[in-house]
Amino acid sequence: MDLKTEYFDDGSSFYPIDPLMLNPEYLEEFAIFERYPKKDNLYRFRCLIMDFDSTPIETVIKLLKSWKVVYIHKKHLTSYEAHIKENLGYILMLDKLETKKKTKVFTQVSTNVIKDVFDSHYNDSVISPKAIEKVEKLVSQVIDFISDSNSLECLAELIGHDYNTHVHSIKVGWILAAFINANKDLFKASYDLDLKSLLIKATVAGFMHDIGKIKIPENILNKRGKLDNLEYITVQSHTSYSLSLLFESGLPKFAMQAILYHHESEDGSGYPCGLKGDQIPLIAKAIHIIDVFEALTAERPYKKAKTPFEALRIMMGENPQVEVLNKFEQEARQNKKAPIEAIVRNERDVKIQRLKERMMLEEEAKKRVEVRLKLRDRGMAHCFDKELMKRFIITINESKSFNLSELI
């Protein structure tokens, strides 16, 4: 790709990078620039190295060490991203790079990888073993870093920020890896696998737990208001879709079970099978905890993020109206309060009278869901394994970024 050696630009065509992230052994595809102060609203960008092939590696190493920040042209962004992806293991081993930056890098790379898997399978009925191998390769590069003592520091970095399905999925995966790693005794006792294989496969399950959402209509997934009953049931089908999509992916049975059962609740009020207590596999229970925790602590367009303390207090809280809450959940699933013909769009809907009826029923359904969510926020302890929940709070607390001592 042809680039000039000098640009005058407002900064929007360039991307700042930490030179530490560049592995001098494998730099071929992009040029790097330095930025001069703004003059007449434009920066001057001067090329530092245009051709890595013809620059001696010692010179490259020396130069990279001497800069705090360098810039790449956005035309080279894809090459830069490929470089980071290929050299992720190298970057995570760098002593000088702060954990914060490392976490940002592997979060970004994994988000791209997972987004790619999600986006490229909208029209497919199965996800190939090849796609899963790619995800496993990524996880293998990061898992040694997660396994070392810094993982709790990176755990703190993963919590909060904006919500979207891909970022949510990778956060659930990485938080799960850090959680399993900090509670090796518990997980090793439940699964007959060496820790590294367990960590890798479980993390992939964490990444893929919501893949079935690609089969849910977007207008339902992205609906800003509350879901009505039929929409709610449709969303719940994502667990079965995940299983079906991954059926031939080569993922082991325990990972598939963890994905299928990640919405099962301790008291049997979850879905898709209404399993309870020991019937629910440990990793499915862990994904459920992390999934809810991550969703509560993330910012959404229609709700403010809760702090880890607030989220965990809700998750730990005994709900005084758990029976009413479960009745609501049941009604929603059985669709008692919103008959199907009132919601499905068909030609009768054009008749004003029917439309009015439907709107009234939808309104009622919305209100019921609102009440249900409000009720849920009064306490969710019945959904989770108490012991595992305690371990989770202790793990988060050990990251020393949040004061959770009151909850332990």
List contacts with Fe ion (CB under 5 A).
210
CB of residue 210 vs Fe ion: minimum separation in angstroms?
Answer: 5
Of residues 48 and 135, the one with the C-beta less far from Fe ion:
135
CB of residue 212 vs Fe ion: minimum separation in angstroms?
Answer: 8
* Residue nearest Fe ion, CB atom distance: 210
**Distance from C-alpha of 11 to C-alpha of 156, rounded to nearest angstrom:** 31
Whether residue 70 contacts residue 32, with contact meaning beta carbons closer than 8 Å, is answered with yes
Of residues 72 and 251, the one with the C-beta less far from Fe ion:
251
User: Taken in order 378, 209, 98, 69, is the CA torsion positive or negative?
Assistant: negative
For residue 375 the two structure tokens come to 């009720």
Paired strand residues for 9: 43
CB of residue 390 vs Fe ion: minimum separation in angstroms?
Answer: 23
CB of residue 377 vs Fe ion: minimum separation in angstroms?
Answer: 19
Strands (E), 243-301: none
**How far is CA 225 from each of CA 170, 228, 300, 362, 363, rounded to the nearest angstrom?**
25, 9, 12, 12, 11
Based on the number of CB atoms within 10 Å of its own CB, is 38 exposed (0-12), middle (13-18) or buried (19 or more)? exposed
Based on the number of CB atoms within 10 Å of its own CB, is 80 exposed (0-12), middle (13-18) or buried (19 or more)? buried
Of residues 76 and 288, the one with the C-beta less far from Fe ion:
288
Of residues 290 and 361, the one with the C-beta less far from Fe ion:
290
Whether residue 398 contacts residue 284, with contact meaning beta carbons closer than 8 Å, is answered with no
Q: Is the peptide bond prior to 272 cis by the omega test (within 30 degrees of 0)? A: yes
CB of residue 333 vs Fe ion: minimum separation in angstroms?
Answer: 15
Of residues 15 and 163, the one with the C-beta less far from Fe ion:
163
Of residues 94 and 221, the one with the C-beta less far from Fe ion:
221
- Give the other-Cβ count within 10 Å of 139's Cβ: 24
**Which amino acid, one-letter code, is at 224?**
R
CB of residue 270 vs Fe ion: minimum separation in angstroms?
Answer: 11
**Which amino acid, one-letter code, is at 14?**
F
CB of residue 238 vs Fe ion: minimum separation in angstroms?
Answer: 6
Of residues 210 and 385, the one with the C-beta less far from Fe ion:
210
